Amino acid sequence: MFISLKRILRGGLLNFRRNQGLAGVTIFVMVLTISLMTSIFLFRGMSSFLMDSLEKKFDISVYFKEDSLETEILKTKDLLLELPEVKAVDYISRDQALEIFKEKNKDNQTISQALDEVGDNPFSASLNIRAGSPSNYETVNRFLQNTRFESLIEKVDYYQRKPVIESFYSLIDNLQKTGLVLTLVLAFIAFSLTFVTIRLAIYNASEEIGIMRLVGASNWFIRGPFLVQGIICGLLASLISLILFLALSYSLSPKILYLTSGFSLSHYFIGNFFTVFALQILSGAGLGVFSSLIAIRRYLDK
């Protein structure tokens, strides 16, 4: 058994060497396919981080009329917190709003003078509402349109922020869909090239196959080397992709950390190393095995 396995492995390596040129092209396309799949995985991690970060920044503000009582505003806050869609509600009084504005514009003398001339506090009390997800803001907004709040609420800035929220999530969704389509296209190309490589190997070894059949070699002894050849292509592509992404994750990490304000690509990659490794090995070997089996069944089992 071990002798047969050794011969099958040796035959697979021999087939690989005989078709180095085409095998090289196959590996290159496989590397692109596996790299794109890995990129989608890493991008999903980064987009999840960004969405979590932006969910904390994305909110809708409810501004109350000047004569609204603080007790009524706090009652509204409690009602909002009862909604399952609402994650947090922060109350900002008129005085707090004024202090926040002054702090932000403390270096702007023109604004400071304008506030002094106005005299009275021009700001309204408000509630800043954070929902569990972007789709929940519509529900919160509908709740605030209830007639019982008409005497209290001056305005809700949901419609000003809605396009920004929707555009961001639409962009993330479209990028993920585009990446998935490209992965499928490259996977098909990799499958086709591996298929052609195995077909050519079968053609080149047709004489040897005939002799092995005459001497009574088993089907798997004949098929084995071609299957091994496909696996070699897949595993080499996986290892190249792994080394490539290990290097890229460290070289790009500082830039991505700066652009995303906190997402470390290298830490995420290392933290999910075994998942990435398994994804790459399984996808590479899977492509090699599947395309090899199809080619073997079509051109060898005749």
Write out the two tokens for 208: 């040897």
**Number of other residues whose CB lies within 10 A of the CB of residue 251:** 11
Residue 134 · residue 165 · CB < 8 Å: yes
The answer to whether the pTM exceeds 0.85 is no
Residue 183 · residue 222 · CB < 8 Å: no
Residue 234 · residue 284 · CB < 8 Å: yes
What was the pLDDT predicted at 243?
92
CA distance linking residue 295 with residue 198, whole number of Å: 6
Of 124, 126, 125, 127, the C-alpha closest to 80 is 127
Task: Please report how many Cα atoms fall inside a 13 Å half-sphere around the Cα of residue 71, on the Cβ side.
Answer: 0
Residue 107 · residue 150 · CB < 8 Å: no
Residue ranges of the chain with per-residue pLDDT less than 70: 1-5, 11-12, 15, 55-57, 111-112, 114-119, 159-161, 165, 198, 201-202, 204-222, 299-302
What was the pLDDT predicted at 75?
92
Domains and CATH numbers, the chain: 2-54+167-299 (no CATH), 59-133 (3.30.70.3040)
Residue 253 · residue 265 · CB < 8 Å: yes
Residues 6+ apart with CB under 8 A from 66: 124
Residue 280 · residue 238 · CB < 8 Å: yes
The C-alpha R_g of the chain, in whole angstroms, comes to 31
Q: pLDDT, tens digit, for every residue of 73-125? A: 999 999 999 989 888 899 998 888 888 877 777 777 776 676 666 667 778 88
Distance of CA 144 to the CA centre of its chain: 34
